[in-house]
Chains A and B, each alone.
Chain A
Amino acid sequence: MSDLHSHTVAFVRDTMLPQKAPPGTSVGVVGWMRENLFSGWFNSLLTIAAMAFIYLVGSIILPWLISPTWQAESLGECREILAGLGREGHFGGACWGVIRDRWIQLLFGFYPPESYWRPILALVLLAVALAPVLFSDKVPRKLIWFSAISAFIMPWLLWGGTIWTPLAVIAGFVLAYFVYKAVDTAAGALAAIIAAVVAALVWWLFVMGPVSEALSSILPLGIEPVESRKFGGFMLSVTIGVVAIAGSLPLGIVLALGRQSDLPLVKAICVGFIEFIRGVPLITLLFVASTLLNIFLPPGTSFDIILRVIIMATLFASAYMAEVIRGGLAALPKGQYEGADSLGLDYWQSQRLVIMPQALKISIPGIVSTFIGLFKDTTLVSIIGLLDPLGLSNAIRADADWNGIVWELYGFIAFLFFVVCFGMSRYSMYLERKLQTGHR
């Protein structure tokens, strides 16, 4: 007898069995449900309770949503239609006629209808201009120049006026660039930056106006100007939101760096600014923009109300942005700073090449949260009498036809905001995955 295993037991299988299909209770829908919904008596109980709740809510909301009132001309007509179907009472059905009647107004406010193509074109430009920023690996890099130029085209499209104004603004940047180059070789980087900023400011504040006026009197190229008062609805929210978002990120980075600066004056200014803005509610700032400035400025000075609001919203968001980015900076190990220094990079180089790419990556969720919060905060302008979607919903209710309509309007506005905010949130998750370098 050998000691081989096969000789000591009665039976040994010497061929592999073919794989069997898993039991029916652990695959497919049934398997998924067993695993995820009914994996124990407690979970089963919770599942049933949740389903009952969803059914309860759905059975009220869905019939309300599905309501053949699209063509109605007034709330009374909606009620007649629903009464004709035997659906009466508080949950009888939505009155969608108000959305059909007013959706264009909710989107564009009081913008002249013959010029609707302008905000639409501006939105398309915005999408194209954002592509090289948001999806830098999928589109040609050269497109970034287009983005830079659209930043000047879009306001021109929205507010109209002569073409020379945006061109003169661009000329200011060109001027600043050449001043920087000239002074840089003569007197060093810091002096060059200061000289460039001063030159640009002088150009924008004192020279640009007469120059563009003169040019437009020679060659009057332009489109119909639209006053800020005509802005309203979702367009107003998007305008304020986009400008404030685009402005607050760079400003926030500068403030965050300034707060960590070794220069006491810079640090004091940045800390003071951030803490002041964060210590004051946005509403207060908006009231300052709308009423307090009015009292200090002489009557007749038209300092555009929307511009005032945009500036306030940008400053407000940039203070929060600075703190979010400071969090990213603080999360970087000290070795990164020292490594950059040991490579011989100067301050700006090390920030640009080593520190900021990592700090911003860490801060993405916080940055996008701030963006989303900022975008939703734009609805606060209804308090100072600007007709954003929420302000308009009140104005629409003041129409005797639609007085008493609440849920339909708020639902529609909420849907608009949800689409934008949800889009931003999904993009931030995509960006995080893309920039994932396996540190965790």
Chain B
Amino acid sequence: MKKSVFLGALTVAGLAAGAAAAGTLDDVKARGKLNCGVTTGLVGFAAPDANGNWEGFDVGVCRAVAAAVLGDPQAVEFVPTTGKTRFTALASGEVDMLARNTTWTFSRDVDLKFDFVGVNYYDGQGFMVPKALGVSSAKELDGATVCIQTGTTTELNLADFFRKNNISYEPVPIETNAEGQQQYLAGACDTYTTDASGLAATRASFENPSDHVVLPEIISKEPLGPLVRHGDNEWGDVVRWTLNALIAAEELGITSANIAELSEGTNNPEVNRILGTEGNLGEMLGVSADWAKNAIMAGGNYGELFEKTIGENTSIGLARGLNAQWTDGGLLYSPPFR
């Protein structure tokens, strides 16, 4: 009977917040389900299919963590959050982690008391214009009307960019991406600006995508990554190293196809350590020895997940770019598993 503790609990809420948040890992294990905060819908990153199953790149991170902790990638309760409710949902313990294209910024990390455990997608803000406008660089957009989502970091980046280049613009405020698409197509603005991944998805949905171009300038850094509450380092470690395991698996050539074979033992000690056949990394983390194996099997390694949800063979068609392994000139660089 949880309601009976209602009144008394109010008074000790502050104390309890510290105490209860200390054991998210144990909470998740006891619950048998991971509560994972996702967006209410973002193409390629998180969306429910017709049967209500969530799919996407961020969803894949949730499933990997659930597989690592509970051994079952389906043991996730997806909690849709909006840009306005996401941080309170995490801070209040309604969700155990957020995987919803949230930019890692100083104030969110420090002031809002969250821990970003890593970056699962390096994004940046770009511009899309109709080809007919004849613009080839964002610096030529002097005096343009710009469709811009209000209340996001993109709005601030836009102001910074135009001020820095000493050109002017006229904002057309919009609320959602769908509204942005419609306004842009209806010609209410000369250019639409949002994260480059969002622009690619939007452009892919147009009737004639080739009539529109995404300008080469990327005007901001948007490292998107999963985050957890401040102060629960055990849980933060679990999420961080699950993400690292996905990245390292791609670097070391562990795929969902060969993982069964590799987990019988290989000559590469790091692969063995990740897959739990050597060392006791799982034990240190407080999860089972085959945690990383489960995580990788949930949706494949980082590269497989990328290709399946947002990669070049999907309708969104994002190139790896900055999100390639460091060995391929990208920024993905997992610390060693040792």
Whole-angstrom distance from the CB of B220 to the nearest CB of chain A?
Answer: 23
Give which listed residue, B27, B79, B82, B91, contacts A300 with CB less than 8 A. B27
A384 to B201, CA, bound (A): 25
Q: Is B315 located at the chain interface by the 8 A CB criterion?
A: yes
* Contact present for B41 and A396 (CB under 8 Å): yes
Interface 9-mer from B43-51, B111-119, B253-261:
B43-51
Interface 9-mer from B8-16, B67-75, B102-110, B330-338:
B8-16
Q: Is B164 located at the chain interface by the 8 A CB criterion?
A: no
Interface 9-mer from B123-131, B174-182, B279-287, B321-329:
B174-182
* Contact present for B52 and A110 (CB under 8 Å): yes
Give which listed residue, A89, A109, A394, contacts B178 with CB less than 8 A. A394
* Contact present for B205 and A294 (CB under 8 Å): no
Total residues of chain B contacting the partner, CB 8 A:
57
Task: From known contacts A209-B1, A385-B80, infer whether A296 and B13 are also in contact, taking CB-CB under 8 Å.
Answer: yes
Name A232's closest neighbour in chain B (CB-CB): B52
Interface 9-mer from A55-63, A353-361, A362-370, A400-408:
A400-408
* Contact present for B47 and A398 (CB under 8 Å): yes
Task: From known contacts A383-B84, A400-B316, A406-B182, infer whether A294 and B89 are also in contact, taking CB-CB under 8 Å.
Answer: yes
* Contact present for B16 and A298 (CB under 8 Å): yes
Task: From known contacts A79-B207, A385-B40, A400-B201, infer whether A299 and B21 are also in contact, taking CB-CB under 8 Å.
Answer: yes
Interface flags, B64-97, vs A, CB<8A=1, else 0: 0000000000000101111011001101111000
Main secondary structure of the interface of B (DSSP, over half): mixed
A320 to B167, CA, bound (A): 50
Interface residues of A in 386-432 (CB under 8 A from B): 386-387, 391, 394-401, 403-404, 406
Whole-angstrom distance from the CB of B120 to the nearest CB of chain A?
Answer: 18
A297 to B91, CA, bound (A): 12
Task: From known contacts A101-B50, A404-B181, infer whether A384 and B82 are also in contact, taking CB-CB under 8 Å.
Answer: yes
Q: Which residues of B contact A406 (CB under 8 A)?
A: 178, 181-182
A394 to B175, CA, bound (A): 12
Interface flags, B176-203, vs A, CB<8A=1, else 0: 1010011001000000000000000110
Q: Which residues of A contact B178 (CB under 8 A)?
A: 394, 397, 406
Q: Is A352 located at the chain interface by the 8 A CB criterion?
A: no
Q: How large is the interface on A (under 10, 10 to 19, 20 to 34, 35 or more residues)?
A: 35 or more
Q: Is A75 located at the chain interface by the 8 A CB criterion?
A: yes
Q: Is B204 located at the chain interface by the 8 A CB criterion?
A: yes
A22 to B298, CA, bound (A): 83
Task: From known contacts A291-B85, A391-B80, A406-B182, infer whether A398 and B43 are also in contact, taking CB-CB under 8 Å.
Answer: yes
A105 to B54, CA, bound (A): 13
A384 to B94, CA, bound (A): 13
Which of B51, B56, B85 lies at the interface centre, i.e. has the most chain A CB atoms within 10 A of its CB? B85
Q: Is A102 located at the chain interface by the 8 A CB criterion?
A: yes
Name A109's closest neighbour in chain B (CB-CB): B52
Listed A/B pairs (17) with beta-carbon separation below 8 Å: A88-B207, A90-B185, A290-B88, A291-B85, A294-B88, A299-B20, A300-B93, A301-B2, A383-B84, A384-B84, A385-B79, A387-B80, A394-B41, A399-B47, A399-B48, A399-B49, A400-B316
Q: Which 4 A-B pairs have the closest CB atoms?
A: A299-B93, A398-B41, A404-B205, A209-B1
Please name 11 further chain A to chain B contacts, defined as beta carbons within 8 Å, in addition to the given A398-B41, A406-B181, sorted by A numbering.
A105-B52, A229-B77, A294-B92, A298-B16, A299-B17, A301-B9, A385-B85, A398-B56, A399-B49, A400-B44, A404-B205
B residues in contact (CB < 8 Å) with A: 1-6, 9-10, 12-13, 16-17, 20-21, 27, 39-52, 56, 77, 79-82, 84-85, 88-89, 91-94, 176, 178, 181-182, 185, 201-202, 204-207, 314-316
